[in-house]
A and B are shown apart, each in its own frame.
Chain A
Amino acid sequence: MSVKTELEFTINGRPVNIEVPVDMTVLNLLRDMLDLKGTKYACGEGECGACTIEVDGMTINSCLMMAVDLQGREVMTIEGLSKGNALHPMQKSFVDHGAVQCGFCMPGMIIQANYLVKKNPDLTREEMKRGLEGNVCRCTGYTKVLDAVAAVVGLRG
C-alpha cells in the first residue's frame, strides 16, 4: 500500500478532512471514499469528460487529477449543483429539453455546461460546441444538450 496523507478541503460547501492514499485520483476519492457516485468513470484518461468536476471554479477531469492536489481547495460535484430537491437551472433545462437519455455522461456534461455559462453568459452556439468538445455523449448527438445550454444563456440574457 502506498503511503497516505491527510487532506482538508471543501466539497459542495462542506469541509472534508480525510486521509487518502497519495496515488489516488480525485475520481476514486469521490466515488469510493466519499460516496459521491454522481461523478462517473468512463475512460480514465481525460478523453470523455464524464468525470468533470469544478475545482476552485475551474472544471477538470477528476480521473486525471491526484487527490492530494485537493488540499485547501474548493470542489463542486454534480451533487453540489442542486439545492435540496430543487434543480439548478442548468439541470432543469437539460430535463426540459430532453437532453437526458441514458444520462451517464450528464453529470459531467452539466458541470461543464454550467462552467461555460458562468464564464461567459453570452456564449454562442459555436462556443458551446467548443466548450463541450471534451464531453462525449453517445445517446443524444449533442443537439438537445446545446438546446438546453442555449436556453439557459437566453434566460440570463
Chain B
Amino acid sequence: MSEIERYIAPTELAEAVEVLGHGGVTIVAGGTDLTPQINEGRRSYDATLMNIQRVRELKNISLENGEIRIGCLVTVSQIRYSDIIAEHAAILCETANCFASDQIRNAATIGGNVCNASPAGDMIIPLLVLGVSVELASWKDGAMQIRREPLNKFFTGPGKTIRHENELLIAVVFDQPSDNFVGQFRKSGPRPALEISTVTVGIGGDVRDGKFENVRVAFGAVGPTPMRGTVTEAALEGKTLNEDTIQAAVLAAGQDASPIDDIRATTWYRNHLIGVFTEELLNNVCQN
C-alpha cells in the first residue's frame, strides 16, 4: 500500500510545474479516471499528491490569433457549452455530448482524458481530427519550459504517452479550422453516452468545390492507442466524395485498424463497425 506523504494544491502554474520537477507526484484534477483506478488497484499514489484544480489559468478556452487553446482543466461540460468551440469546432461539442454522463462531464477534464491515454478515450478522437498539439510544461534551470507535440505522436500504448513524469500537460492547441471545415464523430451505442466505446470514428476536413481536403481520420478502441487513420486519409485526400471514394475509404479504414477481441466486442464486430461508421460519417459529410 502506498501512502501519501505530502499534499500540495498550488494556485500558480509555475509552482505546480516546479513541484512536478521533484518527481514522485500524482496529479489529481477531476478525479474521474484516477479514483476508480486507485480503487481497483490498477494504480497507486506517489508520495506527493498534487491537486491542480486551483490553477485558474488552466481552466480557460480561448481563441487568439487564429489559434484555439483549451486549458487542461477545462471540463467536458465546458467544451459542450462553449461558444468558441460550437462556432469553430462543433465536432468537439458533439463528442462532449456523447461522453459518459452529465455528472462525469461536469468533472472530467480534457487534460485528464488525454493523459489517461485510454484507447477508448472519446474526446481524443475529435482532437486528433482537429490536428491538435499538446503543450507540455516542465521546470528547468529555475524556469518553466514548454514544448509542443502533435497529439498523434503523443500516445505510445494503453495508458502510456511520451509525457515525462516531470511534465504537466497544460493545454491542447489547434489552428482555428477553416470555414469549410466539416467534422463528424460517431461512437457505438446503444446508449447515447454512458458506454465505454466499442468503436469510435472521427472524420474531418475542408470541403472545397466538392473535394475533401486536409482530411484527418481518427479511430478509437481499435488498437492499443487512439490513432490516426493514415490509409483512410490518403484514400480521401483531395477526392470528390462519391460512392466510389466512400467505398475506397471503407476498405482503407479496415487496413488502418487492428482491433482485438475483448469482453466488449469481437474483432469481427469492431471491423464491421469501423466500416459502417466510416461510410455513415462520409455520407454525413456529403450531406453537409
Contact = CB atoms under 8 A, between A and B. Distances in A.
A124 interface: no
A59 B105 CA distance: 9
Contacts of B101: 46, 49, 133-135
Contacts of B31: 25, 64-66, 69
Contact of A46 (B49, B51, B100): B100
A46 B30 CA distance: 12
Nearest to B29: A69
A44 to B, nearest CB: 6
A60 B35 contact: no
B35 A131 contact: no
Q: Chain B, interface size: which category?
A: 20 to 34
A137 interface: no
Contacts of B264: none
Interface stretch (A1-9, A97-105, A144-152): A1-9
Contact of B102 (A23, A69, A112): A112
* Centre residue among A64, A69, A135 by max chain B CB count within 10 A: A64
B4 A46 contact: no
Contacts, number: 95
Nearest to A126: B192
A63 B101 CA distance: 14
What class of interface size applies to chain A in its complex with B? 20 to 34
A133 B103 CA distance: 10
Most buried by A among B28, B39, B101: B101
A23 B107 contact: no
B36 interface: yes
A68 B194 contact: no
Interface string A120-153: 0000000000110111000000000000000000
Contacts of B9: 68, 71
Contacts of B51: 66, 68-69
B4 A22 contact: yes
Contact of B107 (A44, A61, A71): A61
B262 interface: no
Interface string B2-27: 01111101000000000000000000
Contacts of B5: 3
21 contacts: A1-B3, A3-B3, A3-B5, A22-B7, A44-B39, A45-B36, A45-B39, A46-B32, A46-B36, A46-B104, A47-B194, A49-B103, A59-B102, A64-B30, A64-B104, A68-B7, A115-B102, A130-B192, A133-B102, A133-B194, A134-B104
Interface of B: 3-7, 9, 28, 30-32, 35-36, 38-39, 45, 49, 51, 53-54, 77, 100-104, 106-107, 191-194
Given A2-B45, A59-B102, 17 more contacts: A3-B5, A3-B6, A23-B45, A44-B39, A45-B35, A46-B100, A46-B101, A46-B103, A52-B103, A64-B35, A65-B30, A66-B51, A68-B9, A68-B49, A112-B102, A133-B192, A135-B101
